[in-house]
Amino acid sequence: MKKAVDPYVLSFDSESVRYRQQRHQQNRHHWMICLAKSPDKLVSWGHAPTHELADSEARNELKDLLSGLTQGGHVSQQHHAVPPVRS
């Protein structure tokens, strides 16, 4: 899914991953922000364990980019942890 926020394009993707010492796979939700004029130019990216968290982090990064607080790059998972899978 892609959303345009001029001058950026925000997109989401998910993948199934298996973290160390876990028996079950989980989804990891990626978000990417590219330049609208150069869609192959990645400006910022990150991932989260849920789509809701990925969406929230991406929107916060968009606000920071638009206001000039950041120039982009990888946004690390500082606000949440991957929830453990219980067997």
The number of folded domains in the chain is: 1
Give the Cα separation of 30 and 74 in Å (integer). Answer: 11
pLDDT of residue 77: 59
- Predicted structure pTM score: 0.71
* Beta-bridge partners for 74: 45
pLDDT of residue 81: 44
Whether 81 is in a domain gets the answer no
Whether 83 is in a domain gets the answer no
pLDDT digits over 7-44, tens only?
899 999 999 887 666 677 788 899 999 999 988 899 99
Burial of 29 (0-12, 13-18, 19+ CB in 10 A): buried
In 3-state terms, what secondary structure has residue 5? strand
Residue 84 has pLDDT above 50, yes or no: no
Banded model confidence at residue 79, pLDDT cuts 50, 70, 90: very low
Beta carbons of 31 and 10 less than 8 angstroms apart: yes
- Pull the structure tokens for residue 33: 């922000």
pLDDT digits over 33-73, tens only?
999 998 889 999 999 989 999 999 999 999 999 998 887 87
- In degrees rounded to 5, what are phi and psi of residue 71? -110, 5
Whether 39 is in a domain gets the answer yes
Give the domain extent around 54.
2-70
